[in-house]
Amino acid sequence: MNMGIVYAIAYIVLAPFVGGFLDGVDRKISARMQRRVGPPLLQPFYDIVKLFNKETISVDSSQTFLLLTYFVLMLVTGVMFFSGSDILMCFFVLSTAATFLYFAGVITSSPYSSIGAQRELIQMMTYEPAVLLTCVGFYLAAGSFNVNEIASTGTSYIFRLPGFFVAFVFILTIKMRKSPFDTSTSHHMHQELVKGITTEMGSKNLALFQITEWYENVFLMGVICLFFVNGSITGLVISLAVFLLVYFLEILIDNCCARMKWQDMLVITWIVTFFTAGVNLVILMVIR
């Protein structure tokens, strides 16, 4: 059997378990940083089971369809990536998925949900330049957008793409909905967004959203690993170590930083993208 198909099936089956476990680790480490005991590592799975057992409540019946589309497109994104397809197309599908999440937020007519959805669009505008530049960087370094070709060339591209790596890690704070850039959602009910884009998501809809987020986090960590894999066991081990380090860094940032205004998020992210990925891009084009 083609290994791409094996990786794709493994993503479909294992990603929610890996994502849920990482979510549990996130909660546990965050609690320790705040001098609390924290919930069990498997608490995210308990929450999902509880949500699926609750009575189905939906402010608008169309929300379920939109969230299902968001879930399917996220699944397609990960399957394309782990099967070795075009990385640029993967991110285009990912952006389309985020658009359906926006629609799921605004369709409820809730002021909190609508504001969160509008900020979700702003977040997309904020991180998309770094995402597209990362794809271009891989193409210039490897001569292909194909994930399978990038991962099997025998070269770790981190040495040629350090600026792109920094830019991508920076926008992970937005994609993973961590402070200081959790502008479309809110970890705490007392903030002005209440729960932002997820305010009107209840029972099965909220569970579906959470599972989709787990799939997305695993996909994003896969992109991080792509900077380090080189077709060898050593490259795989290093990529997994970096993945764990980056995930811990995101937890640390989330617990150390207060939430910023979306205007500050936009300006800071574009500046970082320009001075890391932008400069790296110029260097790549000069030395080709």
Q: What is the pLDDT of residues 185-237, one digit of tens each?
A: 766 555 555 677 777 777 788 889 999 999 999 999 999 999 999 878 888 89
Residue 240: its pLDDT value, please?
92
Residue 192: its pLDDT value, please?
55
pLDDT at residue 75 above 90?
yes
Write down the mean pLDDT value for the chain. Answer: 87
Token pair listed for 279: 């400069």
Q: Which residues have CB under 8 Å from 25's CB, separation 6+?
A: 41, 247
pTM: 0.92
Q: Nearest to residue 218, comparing CAs of 12, 66, 4?
A: 12
Q: What is the pLDDT of residues 94-140, one digit of tens each?
A: 999 999 998 888 887 777 788 888 888 889 999 999 999 999 999 98
CA–CA separation, 259 and 190 (whole Å): 13
Cα 253 from chain centre: 15
End-to-end CA distance of the chain: 37
CA–CA separation, 103 and 105 (whole Å): 5
